Amino acid sequence: MIREQRQEGGVMAELTSLDREYKEWIRFVSQKYRQSQIKAAVSVNRELIAFYWDLGKDISEREKKWGTGFYKMISSDMKKLLPDCSGFAERNLRYMVSFYVLYSPRVHLPQVAADLREKAADEKLPQVVAEFNATDLFSVPWGHHRLILDRCKGDVDKAIFFVRKTIQNNWSRAVLMNFLDTDLYERQGKAISNFQYALPAVQSDLAQEMTKDPYNFDFLAIQEDYDEKLLKDALVKNIMQFLLELGRGFAFVGKEYPLPIEGTEERMDLLFYHLWLHCYVVIEVKVKAFTPADIGQTATYVAITDDLIRREGDGKTIGLIICKSKNNVLAKYAVGTSDEPIGISEYELSHFLPTPEEIEQVLSDTDGSTEK
């Protein structure tokens, strides 16, 4: 013990000479880190992220006092105090500050961070987070946080969105990186709907969250002059990619699902069951612009599914119209006329197969250029 104190005293003498307050603080930080390492045996990631949060907070509060060279100084001194520990590079310290500054106005800390962490180890994360809190934030690995900070550029709502998605889907860093490079945030939960008043409060938020606008159908191999049948056939043929685009929780029930009513040949385009919402989802695909008549048709299918297909324990059936285009003002008025929960989204489809005529033209041009 005496030997350890002598070694620590020798290191303290080598630290950057600034003032006594600084030396006391930097020593406190190193001791706090050692304590967090011990607790990390129980909850490695949460303790480490919580430590980075606290250090980011401390640095942000002291940066003005100790000048622009503060980061380099901290990095150097922490490496002296903790030579066997990584994570104190100047760049990583700046990430810690950015991490704290970005989230601190939005993260709920009912107690000081240390007290919160003591009880957080026994708490379980919900599948869908209604309120953003430190337990959720500290459960995501630091490498993920750095990617989110880089890609979200100070947009806290976007950053929180990807933190939640990482938790819900257990994304690896590679998967997170792929989604950060898409427009998922801009599309998620953006369908025009009447869910807010057509569904119970708890279900309405989750239902809205499951939607996107637009849906990206670029995984389809289809010719440009397609009709609704070709589009539906292509979606079912590529059902795995379609389910990925719809999002987690969707289970495919059937295509052109017959209405269980004697004497009618009416069929629903696509029927799904949502495992999280515990309800059926009727999807109507329209290759043209949305019209108010689409609401009546979809509402009819939703009502029939509720009465004749839904079982005890299932939630209210939801309708989703995915159309080529829509007038947003018209769509808002249209969903307001229905008591059935309905959402309206567009789809994007930009990659088309060449037509036989186009293929023939290309071959003809190629033969002509070869002869020359």
CA distance 268 to 254: 9
* DSSP codes of every residue in 213-263: SSEE-TT--EETT--HHHHHHHHHHTHHHHHHHH-TTEEEEEEEEEPS-TT
R_g over Cα of the chain: 28
Nearest to residue 310, comparing CAs of 271, 342, 284, 343?
271
CA distance 108 to 244: 32
Nearest to residue 109, comparing CAs of 32, 54, 152?
54
Contacts 24+ apart (CB under 8 A), 126-133: 127/168, 127/276, 128/164, 128/168, 128/206, 128/209, 128/276, 129/164, 129/167, 129/168, 130/205, 132/106, 132/107, 132/108, 132/160, 132/163, 132/164, 133/107, 133/108, 133/109
Per DSSP, the three-state class of 291 is coil
CA distance 227 to 339: 30
Question: What does the longest C-alpha to C-alpha distance in the chain come to?
Answer: 93
Nearest to residue 96, comparing CAs of 142, 47, 42, 39?
142
Q: Is-contact 342 194, C-beta < 8 A?
A: yes
**What pLDDT is stored for residue 316 in this prediction?**
95
What ranges do the domains of the chain cover? 2-180, 192-353
CA distance 345 to 338: 16
Q: Phi-psi bin for 216: left (phi > 0), alpha (psi -120 to 50), beta?
A: beta
**What pLDDT is stored for residue 40 in this prediction?**
52
CA distance 259 to 238: 24
Residue 129 has φ and ψ, to the nearest 5°, of: -90, 120
CA distance 58 to 52: 10
| pLDDT tens series, the chain, 372 aa | 333 344 445 555 566 656 778 878 887 888 777 766 655 543 667 888 989 999 999 998 888 887 768 888 888 988 888 888 888 899 999 999 999 999 998 887 654 444 444 544 444 433 333 357 888 899 899 999 999 999 999 999 999 999 998 988 888 888 899 889 888 888 888 899 999 999 988 789 889 989 999 999 888 877 777 888 888 888 988 988 899 899 889 999 999 999 999 898 889 999 999 999 999 999 999 999 999 999 999 999 999 999 999 999 999 999 999 999 999 999 999 999 999 999 999 998 876 555 555 556 655 655 555 555
Q: Is-contact 320 297, C-beta < 8 A?
A: no
Whole-Å CA distances, 9 to 3, 13, 74:
10, 6, 18
- Please determine, looking at this structure, whether the domain spanning 192-353 carries the CATH number 3.40.1350.10: yes
- Record the tokens describing residue 5, joined without a space: 């104190």
**What pLDDT is stored for residue 116 in this prediction?**
43
